[in-house]
Amino acid sequence: MADRAFEYLREAIANRHLSGNGPFTRRSQEWLQREIGCARALLTHSGTAALEMAALLSGVGPGDEVIMPAFTFVSTANAFVLRGATPVFVDIRPDTLNIDETAIAAAITPSTRAIVAVHYGGVACEMDAILDLAARHGLMVIEDAAQALLSAYKGRPLGSFGRLAALSFHETKNVSAGEGGALIVNDPALADRAEIVWEKGTNRNAFFRGQVAKYSWVDVGSSFLPSEITAAFLWSQLETARELTESRLRLWHMYHDRCRDLEAAGLVRRPLVPSECRHNGHLYYLLTPSLDARTHALSWMNDRGVNAVFHYVPLHTSPAGRRYGRHAAPLRITEASSDRLIRLPLWTGLPERDLERVVETAADALRAFMPAG
């Protein structure tokens, strides 16, 4: 895999085309279009940039509201705040930790414009219910599929459900370009404008295709393209995306198997994946019984060299989330889950022996905190 990366990097350099939108960008975009079945895929320099493009294309502005979970990465909300819109945070489901589709309706107001579905850990949100609700209220659905490449819901790829979706190829994701992402455009009516926004507000792409005689500034936009260096590296990863996903899934299932006894002993709850979701093994977490147990387990594990971490300070409790967002109802599951969650180390190539030591250390930590009986 690394050999291929060097080969493609050499090729990109030899092509003398290092700026964006070159052959490796096109190859990667065609791959994404085939896998997801979308109208257009555009590589970006980050998942954050893809979300910012989605927010811009959604047309939201000051006074508009966008419904999303508070249990997500900051960029989900930031992208819309940059347009002047207000994130409205909704609670999550206790099983998948994804937005609670049954709590969305109560958060809809005359100002609501869009719903952002974040697929946590590559496990799908309840898309049928979300799409149905959005259709009834005339809202746009955008998927934050940053963690969800090659996952599916009822057999259909994640990233193919919203009018727009964002993918991330950050180093921590299953498929990485160091920093990178992609905007997925499912609504063909948005495809041309997406290209213009991507190319600094110009119709440069149409010019390259010979559709216009010269290119000029036609709309708002920015520079969202990654360089061909990034795209060449990404291509080496996309080519092996299935193998990378399978190796993550093998580790995920190993964790799931090794943690069964801990769950049976009431020390943790393991991830729950609804049968209609095919996930990509992006991350593995455990839910401890309390915040105190989590605090104790994390410091115990970290003291023993195990890089276990918490995940997501809920956005509605963060300083910027309080300033820019609001929430209609209490976010009890969000707060309780975020307090109790431990994310275990999971990366391609994690040795099985190390994984077993992680589980043994977690078990020791939790048993020490909660003696049997």
Ligand X SMILES: *Cc1c(COP(=O)(O)O)cnc(C)c1O
Cα-Cα-Cα-Cα torsion 55, 31, 160, 91, nearest 10 degrees, comes to: -60
Distances in Å between the Cα of 154 and the Cα atoms of 115, 124, 126, 150, 167 are 20, 9, 10, 13, 20
Nearer to ligand X, 162 or 181 (CB): 181
Q: How far is the CB of 289 from ligand X (least distance, A)?
A: 26
For 316, the 3-state DSSP assignment is helix
Residue whose beta carbon is closest to ligand X? 47
Contact at 8 Å (CB) between 89 and 130? Answer: no
- The span from the CA of 167 to the CA of 7, in Å, is 25
Which of 148, 267 has the CB closer to ligand X?
A: 148
Pairing of strands 140-144, 181-185: unpaired
User: Which CB, 168 or 202, lies closer to ligand X?
Assistant: 168
- Nearest approach in angstroms of CB 35 to ligand X is 18
Residues in contact with ligand X by CB under 6 A are 46-48, 72-73, 75-76, 118, 144, 146-147, 168, 170, 181
Looking at the Cβ atoms of 174 and 186, the one nearer to ligand X is: 174
Residue 160 or residue 230: which is nearer to ligand X going by CB? 230
Please identify, using beta-carbon distances, which residue of 85 and 267 lies nearer to ligand X.
Answer: 85
CB of 47 to ligand X, least distance (A): 3
Q: How far is the CB of 207 from ligand X (least distance, A)?
A: 29
C-beta closer to ligand X: residue 249 or 365: 249
SS3 226: coil
CB of 73 to ligand X, least distance (A): 4
Residue 278 host element (H or E): strand 277-278
Q: In the complex with ligand X, which residue's Cβ is closer, 168 or 288? A: 168
156-157 sheet: strands from edge to edge:
156-157, 152-153, 277-278
Work out whether the CA dihedral 226, 227, 233, 239 comes out positive or negative: positive
**For residues 85 and 363, which CB has a smaller minimum distance to ligand X in the complex?**
85
CB of 360 to ligand X, least distance (A): 28
The least distance separating ligand X from the CB of residue 158, rounded to whole angstroms, comes to 12
DSSP letters spanning 13-65: HHTT--SSSSHHHHHHHHHHHHHH--SEEEEES-HHHHHHHHHHHHT--TT-E
DSSP 89-155: EE-B-TTT-SB-HHHHGGG--TTEEEEEEE-GGGPPP-HHHHHHHHHHHT-EEEEE-TT-TT-EETT
Whole-angstrom distance, CA of residue 158 vs CA of residue 138: 21
Minimum distance between the CB of residue 121 and ligand X, rounded to whole angstroms? 9
What's the min distance (Å) between Cβ of 288 and ligand X?
A: 22
Close Cβ partners of 87 (under 8 Å, ≥ 6 residues apart): 65, 66, 68, 76, 77, 80, 81, 315, 321, 324, 325, 326
Spatial distance between the Cα atoms of 303 and 296, rounded to a whole number of angstroms: 11
Task: Report in angstroms how near the CB of residue 51 gets to ligand X at its nearest.
Answer: 6
Between 156 and 311, whose beta carbon lies closer to ligand X?
Answer: 311
